[in-house]
Chains A and B, each alone.
Chain A
Amino acid sequence: MIAKGLVSAFWLELVYCAAILVLISRSRKGLKVPTVYKVPGLDAMDEAIGRSTEMGRPVFYSPGIGDLQNAQTLASFTTLGYVARQCAKYDTGLIVANRISVVYPITEEIVKQAYATEGKPDSFVPDNVRFFSEDQFAYAAACVGVMHREHPAASILIGGFWAESLIFAEVGSQVGAIQIAGTANTHQIPFFVAACDYCLMGEEIYAAGAYLSKDPVLLGALIGQDWGKMVSVAMIVVGAILATVSPKANWLLTMLKQ
């Protein structure tokens, strides 16, 4: 019935999702929500926007180059909503650079809604939410140009980034912007760590929505993530012990590959 090679994945994901749903339901009922550890990169969002406000320079935001089917892009929308609201509150310019045409109308709507929520719909500048190009390096070149011409005081890069990540981070550094970057693409994380002031690694970008909104329901979902990690660590430990004690007894691996 279940496609070959996906049986274990199906049951593991089902249990994981069920656990998250139970925890969300418990949070809705007002049960205790966890204390989330400090994420300096997310705490620095306000600092970055504040710096831009003081310097009278805009905030540059990129949701990455992933399309709508990429979870990182969806995670970036939540962060963008927060950044846009803060920028609207303090009358700070916000430039949003889009690579994917389907993503562009959504980011425009998010920023427009944020200004409306803060009671400043007239302060929204449509020209500041821009679509550049579907081509990866044309998009990178356009972002570099914007950074050099408009000198943002803060550069926030959250989403799926590939080869252009270091170009953005280095140019942001050259123009003196405070930089907060986050991606789940492991090969790009070292570049962000090396070149940016703050870096959100992997799962931290998915926790941003809960962390910034402090919504107890969303925070409840984070406990599920932690439980999932604990199960993964337990399986790694059991697998390591089995591989050490009896290298030929690979029943755990066989079971997971089913």
Chain B
Amino acid sequence: MRKEGPVAVGFIVGLVVIIVTYFSAKPLVAIKGELDQWYLIATAFAVAVGLVNLVQIHMRKIQHKREGWGYSIVLIAGIAGFLLFGLTVSSAGDPKFQWMYNTTIVPMNATMYSILVFYIASAAYRAFRIRTGEAAVLLVAAVIVMLGRVTIGEMISPMLPKWTSWIMNVPNTAGMRAITIGATLGGISQALRVLIGIERGHLGGVE
């Protein structure tokens, strides 16, 4: 019963959502709207659970002075600062809160994102080392695409941008679409297995 109950609830709720997707019957649309609200409420509670986990781990780290415990202090101070400021002094839409967000979170996010360029370079270096026939094809295709995307490529040969377009639009798109079709069918099959309860990993137990 520990698993059958949640499976039955999941089946009914899943069925409602599927029916609403294809048939816009008004009572069912209202039920789906209600279910979406429930999901939002559950998510809000889960954030609190996650926050407790995060604080517990870092408090223990500070307590036992484990490696990098200084960073944990910064983290706890950051959480407390944003939480207290948001709950007491200002709200999320307030200019002061926006200023805090724009001067801390935004530049840190941008920093992480910008690091990607170096990772792309190092990953490309490793991927393009010619060790096999496939790697050689990859290298040739990558060089053509990279040169075809920049102005110097057209100066070298006016054919490079055309070859680039062909590589991107024909073999690349064909491969991507094949993977997308397979993944979509796999996703539907996965959803069906979850819906009828033969795959129960999401219920917190092993298969």
CA distance in complex: A213, B71 (Å): 41
A203: contacting residue among B68, B105, B124, B186, CB under 8 A: B186
- A191 and B50 contacting across the interface, CB-CB below 8 Å: no
- A207 and B46 contacting across the interface, CB-CB below 8 Å: no
B186: contacting residue among A129, A133, A186, A225, CB under 8 A: A225
- A201 and B204 contacting across the interface, CB-CB below 8 Å: no
Contacts A137-B108, A189-B179 given; indicate if A232 touches B185 (C-beta within 8 A). Answer: yes
- A104 and B22 contacting across the interface, CB-CB below 8 Å: no
Residue B162 interfacial (CB < 8 Å): no
Measured as residues with beta carbon below 8 angstroms from the partner, the interface class of chain B is 35 or more
Residue of A nearest to B193 (CB): A221
Residue of B nearest to A2 (CB): B22
- B201 and A78 contacting across the interface, CB-CB below 8 Å: yes
Most buried by A among B22, B56, B206: B206
Complex interface: chain B residues within 8 A of A90 (CB): none
B188: contacting residue among A13, A106, A137, A209, CB under 8 A: A13
**What per-residue 1/0 map shows which CB atoms of A129-142 lie under 8 Å from chain B?**
11111111110110
Residue B140 interfacial (CB < 8 Å): no
CA distance in complex: A203, B204 (Å): 23
CA distance in complex: A6, B19 (Å): 12
Contacts A202-B179, A202-B180, A206-B190 given; indicate if A3 touches B23 (C-beta within 8 A). Answer: yes
Contacts A109-B205, A170-B122, A206-B183 given; indicate if A135 touches B127 (C-beta within 8 A). Answer: no
Residue of A nearest to B75 (CB): A142
Residue B131 interfacial (CB < 8 Å): no
- A203 and B185 contacting across the interface, CB-CB below 8 Å: yes
Measured as residues with beta carbon below 8 angstroms from the partner, the interface class of chain A is 35 or more
B50: contacting residue among A72, A80, A110, A131, CB under 8 A: A131
- B189 and A10 contacting across the interface, CB-CB below 8 Å: no
Complex interface: chain A residues within 8 A of B113 (CB): 137, 163
Complex interface: chain A residues within 8 A of B205 (CB): 81, 109-110, 113, 117
Complex interface: chain B residues within 8 A of A170 (CB): 119, 122-123
- B23 and A104 contacting across the interface, CB-CB below 8 Å: no
- B109 and A138 contacting across the interface, CB-CB below 8 Å: yes
Residue of B nearest to A127 (CB): B57
Contacts A117-B206, A195-B126 given; indicate if A71 touches B191 (C-beta within 8 A). Answer: yes
- A215 and B22 contacting across the interface, CB-CB below 8 Å: no
CA distance in complex: A112, B205 (Å): 8
Complex interface: chain B residues within 8 A of A85 (CB): 206
A/B interface sample: 18 pairs, CB < 8 A: A10-B22, A21-B192, A74-B191, A77-B202, A81-B207, A101-B49, A105-B46, A110-B205, A113-B204, A130-B57, A131-B54, A135-B105, A145-B68, A186-B176, A186-B183, A194-B126, A218-B193, A225-B186
Q: Which residues of A contact B (CB under 8 A)?
A: 1-3, 6, 10, 13, 16-17, 20-21, 24, 68, 71-72, 74-75, 77-78, 80-82, 84-85, 98, 101-102, 104-106, 109-110, 112-114, 117, 127, 129-138, 140-141, 145, 149, 163, 166-167, 169-170, 173, 184, 186, 189, 191, 193-195, 201-207, 209, 213, 215, 217-218, 221-222, 224-225, 228-229, 232
Q: Which residues of B contact A (CB under 8 A)?
A: 21-24, 42-43, 46-47, 49-51, 53-54, 56-57, 60, 67-68, 71, 105, 108-109, 112-113, 115-116, 119-120, 122-124, 126-127, 176, 179-183, 185-194, 196, 198-199, 201-202, 204-207
